[in-house]
């Protein structure tokens, strides 16, 4: 830490942003209800409101505001050398259906508060400091990861603008973007707004999504990595619809084939856990076909989704091989056919050691307890890491997990996170 760094003044300036922080959260909660919780669909009314709220408040505070072709919002405190590599923070403003008010939004609110505090305590920083409010992070809606951050770098997957449909509307990503004024043609060309070479570092603040910090009794975590994943959002198992009295040897039961797959997947996970290899596997959808299922029918069609994640690229690749190798045996044993559907993936995002160390030093200097933490969830920070931008994450203690109406982050804990974030942005070389 720079010996001349105004730590005490910055701490007081961060504390003075408490009213700004509370006011933004209250407005977001009241304006984007989900009955219960909150709902801010990507490229929909709730997310758009949140972006307008951020932009309006930032302009009132005298900060620069811009948007890119995908309508990500950027709030900047200009630096003395505007050609220098910028330091960035931020997170997303969309939510899952009936989610909580803090997942994603906490990182954007924290970033805005950090800029206000830095301007008050430090004045003009050496380089630009930018908060990025990111679109469409929650992949549940379009079943594609990191839409906003990938758009900013011009690396959206081929064809996804037209192939990805929002689950509630059935309309394409391109249609939803265009409706709000996004430059879809620029996105089709792969035009980028962000240049990785122009970014000195990116730190994303986020609520924790497993109760690790709650269990440890500390307010903050400093990330070691964001997991990569592979996903098959629309797996279909086809068997043969039949009478409930059909003997087992004649059946082609798609539901039991799905159950075989699920239990075999769980055995793979248990084996990895027993060997100390961190991973997670989730079957989010798991059901018979409602159009034809019934109590007295053998299911001939079964639908499911798959998300598998790990912190090491080699582990992730080996996991996919093992998981896919389950399919032929189940097909043969049950007389069914698997159609895996489209595949999606995201790379592992390792946190930069220098940023981890700097965040830890600033937490220690402020007397804030913390621990190292691997993220259990995917985050836009991984997009930055994949493009070799130095990346870090700060996690804030949160009861009751996330992606539900009962997220219970304490704003006092968030203020500790803002203090560490602001110190990193103000003191980074």
Asked whether residue 379 carries a pLDDT value surpassing 80, the answer given is yes
Give me the mean pLDDT over the 229-240 stretch: 96
pLDDT tens string 167-219 = 999 999 999 999 999 999 999 999 999 999 999 999 999 999 989 999 999 99
Residue for token pair 């509630």: 168
**Best CA proximity match to 102, nearest among 201, 28, 10, 211:** 28
Sign of CA dihedral 215, 221, 224, 228: positive
Superfamily of domain 7-227+348-427: Zn peptidases (3.40.630.10)
Structural domain 229-346, CATH architecture: 2-Layer Sandwich (3.30)
β-bridge partners, 65: 75
Asked whether residue 2 carries a pLDDT value surpassing 70, the answer given is no
Could you check whether the bond before residue 47 is cis, i.e. omega within 30 degrees of 0?
Answer: no
**Residue 103 tokens, joined:** 């997942």
pLDDT, mean over the chain: 96
What count of residues does the chain have?
429
Asked whether residue 301 carries a pLDDT value surpassing 80, the answer given is yes
pLDDT tens string 155-175 = 999 999 999 999 999 999 999
Q: Please give the distance of CA 189 from its chain centroid, rounded to a whole number.
A: 25
Asked whether residue 4 carries a pLDDT value surpassing 80, the answer given is no
Return the axis-axis angle of helices 18-31 and 411-427, rounded to nearest 10°. Answer: 120
Q: 34 near 96, Cβ under 8 Å?
A: no
pLDDT tens string 36-64 = 999 999 999 999 999 999 999 999 999 99
Domain ranges in the chain are 7-227+348-427, 229-346
Residue for token pair 């407005």: 27
pLDDT tens string 97-145 = 999 999 999 999 999 999 999 999 999 999 999 999 999 999 999 999 8
Residue 297, Cβ density class (10 Å: 0-12 exposed, 13-18 middle, ≥19 buried)? middle
Residue 137, Cβ density class (10 Å: 0-12 exposed, 13-18 middle, ≥19 buried)? buried
What pLDDT score was predicted for residue 375?
Answer: 87
Q: Alpha helices, DSSP H only, in 180-324? A: 184-188, 212-216, 254-274, 313-324
pLDDT tens string 63-103 = 999 999 999 999 999 999 999 999 999 999 999 999 999 99
């Amino acid at each position: 830490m720079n010996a001349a760094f105004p730590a005490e003044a910055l701490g007081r300036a961060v504390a003075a942003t408490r009213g700004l922080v509370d006011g933004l959260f209250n407005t977001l909660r009241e304006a984007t209800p989900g009955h219960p919780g909150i709902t801010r669909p990507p490229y929909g009314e709730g997310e758009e409101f949140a972006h307008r709220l951020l932009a309006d408040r930032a302009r009132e505070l005298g900060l620069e505001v811009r948007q890119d072709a995908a309508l990500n919002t950027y709030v900047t405190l200009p630096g003395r050398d505007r050609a220098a590599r910028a330091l960035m923070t931020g997170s997303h403003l969309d939510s899952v259906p009936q989610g909580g008010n803090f997942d994603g939004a906490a990182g954007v609110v924290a970033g805005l508060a950090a800029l206000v505090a830095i301007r008050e305590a430090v004045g003009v920083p050496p380089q630009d400091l930018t908060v990025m409010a990111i679109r469409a992070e929650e992949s549940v809606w379009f079943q594609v990861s990191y839409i906003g951050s990938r758009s900013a770098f011009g690396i959206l997957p081929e064809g996804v603008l037209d192939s990805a449909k929002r689950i509630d509307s059935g309309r394409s990503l391109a249609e939803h973007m265009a409706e709000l004024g996004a430059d879809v043609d620029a996105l089709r060309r792969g035009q980028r707004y962000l240049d990785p070479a122009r970014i000195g570092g990116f730190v994303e603040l986020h609520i924790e999504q497993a109760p690790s910090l709650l269990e440890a009794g500390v307010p903050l975590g400093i990330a070691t990595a964001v997991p990569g994943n592979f996903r098959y959002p629309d797996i279909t198992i086809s068997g043969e619809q039949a009478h409930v009295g059909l003997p087992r040897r004649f059946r082609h039961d798609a539901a039991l084939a799905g159950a075989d797959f699920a239990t075999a997947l769980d055995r793979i996970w248990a084996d990895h856990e027993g060997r100390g290899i961190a991973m997670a596997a989730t079957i989010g959808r798991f059901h018979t076909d409602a159009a034809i299922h019934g109590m007295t029918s053998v299911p001939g069609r079964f639908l499911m989704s798959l998300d598998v994640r790990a912190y090491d690229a080699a582990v992730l690749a080996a996991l996919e091989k093992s998981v896919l190798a389950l399919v032929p045996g189940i097909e043969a044993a049950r007389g069914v056919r698997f159609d895996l559907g489209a595949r999606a993936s995201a790379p592992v995002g390792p946190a930069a050691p220098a940023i981890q160390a700097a965040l830890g030093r600033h937490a220690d200097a402020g007397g804030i307890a913390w621990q190292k933490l691997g993220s259990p969830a995917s985050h836009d920070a991984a997009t930055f890491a994949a493009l070799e931008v130095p990346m870090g994450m700060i996690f804030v203690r949160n009861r009751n997990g996330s992606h539900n109406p009962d997220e219970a982050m304490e704003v006092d804990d968030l203020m500790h996170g803002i203090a560490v974030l602001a110190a990193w942005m103000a003191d980074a070389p």
